[in-house]
Structure 1
Amino acid sequence: MIKKIITAAMIFIMMTCLQLTAQDFKEKYRPQFHFSPKAHWMNDPNGMVYHNGIYHLFYQYYPDAKVWGPMHWGHATSKDLFTWKEQPIALFPDSLGYIFSGSAVVDAKNTSGFGKDGKVPLVAIFTLHDPVQEKQKTGKHETQGIAYSLDDGKTWTKYKANPVLQNPGISDFRDPKVMWFEPQKKWIMTLATKDRITFYSSPDLKSWTSESNFGADAGAHGGVWECPDLFPIMHNGKKVWVLIVNINPGGPNKGSAGQYFLGDFDGKTFTAYSKETKWLDFGTDNYAAVTFSNTGNRNILLGWMSNWQYANQVPTDPWRSANTIARELGLKTVNKVIYLTSVPVKELDLLKVTSFDLKNVKVKDQLNLTEKANNKTGLFRLDFDLKNAGDFSIVLANKEGNELIVGYDKKANQYYIDRTKSGKSDFEKGFAEKHIAPRISVDANMTISLVADVASVELFADNGLTVMTDIFFPESVMTEFYIKSASGITIDKLKYTVLKASTK
């Protein structure tokens, strides 16, 4: 009898432990359809490449703590941009330094000579950051190295003659984004060099020649330039070159952010249409955003969903940081000025659980959609159209009284995200603020898409002309949902979609 009692108790304890383990795997604030590492620190996405039906995401990773440390390249793979599988670490620090940000390409022509037995090499190009030289203040502590893979990114071999690009004496000399320039049959490296971008070219990814630089007198310069990207998009029958430059600090709502320039590129020089600052995302939590390579006519962008103002302090455990959802880029002309647009990739539809559609919805004061949404997880996508834009706010709330507010101020002609009462914010004095963004569109009609996860919102207004990304940390899941308008609005079409988790 005693043995039976002991056995029953042991089974109960074991079952309880199993239940706790399953519950603990869904930690507080854990994103459910944004990639985040199972544990430890992550920042910039890098080396993103599509190859043989698989999206490869590499990222800055420190496997020994959940704060920034000696950088490695973490690795995750996906077939749909949402269901990510974490892979073994791809690149480790070595005698030449930490492995900072960079890119990866499919060397289809085997220009590098790394391919063997018909196997096409993937080649990673990255910054080697030497902490010893950094302490010595030589100004040459960052160089560029390469590595290659012949097994679809599973394992990597560093080039024995690294570094392939020495530092001419620029303290911030990093984040190489490499692309193939077909007209001249050469590789182009877009490199962040302190307060400007320097372009290099190479026939084989091993030997590099400086071509030109851009940006000393253009764009925002509130902080160091980092994580650039260069690629073309067709617009009205013309090839327009997009140059993305991330900056820290100096963003439109403080801290880290991404800016972009549009112009022409001839294989040597980038000539911008304008030197004015255009922002990729007006929120505070989309940094180091760059595109996947080898995706054909699709330009797919992914960013680090955090900000250097508080990235090391956010209250998540046992990991820190996530990425934005993948976004499809395009171009749109407004008043004869071309702007970059970004909207959620079509693969987001794969996460649909249920949805409802409403037409001619009149909102005066408050419309409570909590019961109709019946959303226990807080994961959703909201799309609606207005013919005559007026003041409104979309409120996400919970039983503790936390509120995350996304809205539009007609008088100021600004969108905003207000996280002043959104939950935990005492980890950084500037976190609990209201962020604003201009409405770029001049159309009376307005389109809104809002994507919400457990601890983030991403706003895509006017078909992606104005974008905002913000993270937040509510005390419990935001299951309450309201639309408010003091002046009154009529929503022509509204679609609310409950989304499912894609992470384990």
Structure 2
Amino acid sequence: MNIKKITNPLSLLLIFGILITACQSSENRQEGVETASQEATTYNEQYRPQFHFSPAKNWMNDPNGLVYHDGEYHLFYQYNPFGDTWGHMSWGHAVSDDLVHWEHLPVALEEENNVMIFSGSAVVDHNNTSGFGSADNPPMVAIYTGHHTDQELQDQRIAYSTDNGRSWTKYEGNPVLDEEMANFRDPKVIWHEGSQQWVMVVALPTEYKVRFYGSENLKEWNLLSEFGPSGATGGIWECPDLFELAVDGDSDQSKWVLQVDLNPGGPFGGSGSQYFVGEFDGKTFAQDPDTEGETRWVDYGKDFYAVQSYDNIPENNGRRIWISWMNNWQYAEQIPTSPWRSAMTIPRSLSLQTFDDGIHLVHQPVQELQQLRGEHHQFEQQEISGASDLLAEVSSNGNQLEVIASFSVDEADTVGFKVAQGTSEETVVAYDAVNGYLFVDRTNSGQTDFNENFAGVHKAPLKQVEGEVKLHIFIDRSSVEVFGNDGRVVITDRIFPSDGSDGISLFTTGGSAELQSLDIWQLNSSWN
């Protein structure tokens, strides 16, 4: 359009308005991330998590591109630079050297040319198979879904960085994988040593399947196999992950874990995450026969979705670590937070352990979180019956806590804690000994009326171990994460209590229980 030929004043005003809006949008896109480091000095709004990652402002969902490189853990994530609800999907970016303290960086991959940047993964191409870097400076390569806004099409694309993720170039040959499908997304790419190739696992959401592709250079992909349907199929499949873990810490015995999210169809409605245990030979994933017909949930809470594990963690570290989006699509855009919306779970390290009903995935909070521990309260060998005042001295500052407790259930029907407790609010975290499950009850946890699907009781089956139950709880202003019996089961839930609802207390119903040990730490903020 030639502005010089337009003489209508209203047309000129319209054109200049468009130009000004475009400039402001560009500025806002960067402001949402670049000013985050300044805003993090306060980071103290109501419901703002203090030791969970959250963007300084605007909308966030799935973690993407989790990769370790040159001393930094990279966290990319689905991000809307223009508002606090879903849209304009791009990759936000943050880095950390300890998984606890995060530095916000500018948006890494931006929506452009009618293509949103949907979820995906990242790898370090050590052998420079892609040719994007060199032997001395291997490139970091992001693999993501291109979601077309002008047609019903999703394809797989790549971008690369040779400066440790600070700047990115989208590959001129994109897309690298296009099956001409409307629903074909969320590529997780790993290097498979046995077959000496890159392997991509990508979701076919409406078919309840994942596909495996192989590549020598990250640019050209060949179909290897499919897996599914299996397990839970009550909603679309998304955000797969694939990794190998030792069984019971035995380096001579390992299994492969295929994790797949689904929405809806989670254990208590809406979003959920399931996993399969089996073998992977570089081409085909074979689920262990004794687990077929089962659904194994990664987390029994309402707010654990789109989990992804870190790639390229050094062998001397030896851990498989992952992070999940702490939200649920039933109410994700309605949670009462501002100027940001959504947070990530605490990072968790994974293992496979054998129990009497087979091999299960176990996750524990990463040890790096212990550096946030402050004031410590310790109790041992206390009988608990009914409502207890044992924790009165810590009940006035209970919205940033780590709690580790071991109970002998004895005569009690129920034993546990009331957290985020106020005059008329409480979140119950307890063990039901009669029915054998751990539960979180957030029906009276504070603000719950923003969506009819929010309030509820979320349960995880848990057996006592020699008459005892162990709870490891993290409370952070607007979240509760509960690890039962050293991570045998986990419940992750958001809560939105009123100011002043920060108490914590012990209780039993139906009889007494013995508190064997209890450690409570006030946790410092990771943002200051």
Is residue 409–residue 469 contact of structure 2 (8 Å, CA) maintained in 1?
Answer: yes
- Partner residue of 2:245? 233
Match of 2:471 among 442, 445, 448: 448
- Partner residue of 1:51? 69
Match of 1:76 among 74, 90, 94: 94
* 1:316-395 correspondence to structure 2 within 5 Å: 316-373=337-394, 376=397, 378-388=399-409, 390=412, 391-395=414-418
Match of 2:56 among 1, 13, 38: 38
- Partner residue of 1:12? none
Distance change (3 Å), C-alpha of 1:491 and 1:263: same
CA distance in 2, matches of 1:203, 1:44: 28
Corresponding residue pairs, total: 476
- Residue 348 of structure 1 aligns to a residue whose secondary structure is helix
* 1:192-341 correspondence to structure 2 within 5 Å: 192-194=203-205, 195-216=208-229, 218-235=230-247, 236=250, 237-273=252-288, 274-275=291-292, 276-295=294-313, 296=315, 297-341=318-362
- Partner residue of 1:8? none
Is residue 400–residue 475 contact of structure 1 (8 Å, CA) maintained in 2?
Answer: no
- Partner residue of 1:15? none
CA distance in 1, matches of 2:91, 2:162: 17
Would you say 1:175 and 2:186 are equivalent positions?
yes
Q: Structure 2 length as normaliser, TM-score?
A: 0.87
Q: Structure 1 length as normaliser, TM-score?
A: 0.91
Offset of residue 369 of structure 1: 4.0
Offset of residue 356 of structure 1: 2.1
Distance change (3 Å), C-alpha of 1:445 and 1:28: same
After TM superposition, the structure 1 stretch with the greater mean CA deviation from structure 2, 110-119 or 418-427, is 110-119
| Identity value in percent | 43
CA distance in 2, matches of 1:205, 1:60: 22
Alignment deviations for residues 39-77 of structure 1 (CA, whole Å, 9 cap, x no partner): 000000010111111110000000101000010000011
**Structure 1, gaps ≥5 residues long:** 1-20, 135-140
CA distance in 1, matches of 2:281, 2:524: 45
Offset of residue 96 of structure 1: 5.6
Is residue 454–residue 477 contact of structure 1 (8 Å, CA) maintained in 2?
Answer: no
- Partner residue of 2:195? 184
Would you say 1:163 and 2:178 are equivalent positions?
no
CA distance in 1, matches of 2:94, 2:199: 26
**Structure 2, gaps ≥5 residues long:** 1-38
After TM superposition, the structure 1 stretch with the greater mean CA deviation from structure 2, 231-240 or 36-45, is 231-240
CA distance in 2, matches of 1:369, 1:23: 35
- Partner residue of 2:8? none
After TM superposition, the structure 1 stretch with the greater mean CA deviation from structure 2, 145-154 or 470-479, is 470-479
- Residue 194 of structure 2 aligns to a residue whose secondary structure is helix
Alignment deviations for residues 368-426 of structure 1 (CA, whole Å, 9 cap, x no partner): 24433265362111101234465213101444421111111111111111111111111
- Partner residue of 1:494? 518
* 1:92-131 correspondence to structure 2 within 5 Å: 92-95=110-113, 97-116=115-134, 118-131=136-149
- Partner residue of 1:11? none
Offset of residue 25 of structure 1: 4.2
Offset of residue 80 of structure 1: 1.0
After TM superposition, the structure 1 stretch with the greater mean CA deviation from structure 2, 353-362 or 300-309, is 353-362
Offset of residue 473 of structure 1: 0.5
Offset of residue 193 of structure 1: 1.0
Distance change (3 Å), C-alpha of 1:443 and 1:176: farther
- Residue 370 of structure 2 aligns to a residue whose secondary structure is helix
- Residue 203 of structure 2 aligns to a residue whose secondary structure is strand
- Residue 319 of structure 2 aligns to a residue whose secondary structure is coil
Alignment deviations for residues 75-105 of structure 1 (CA, whole Å, 9 cap, x no partner): 0111111111111000001226100000000
Root-mean-square deviation (CA, aligned residues, Å) is 1.7
* Amino acid in structure 1 at the alignment position of 2:527: T
Is residue 40–residue 527 contact of structure 2 (8 Å, CA) maintained in 1?
Answer: no
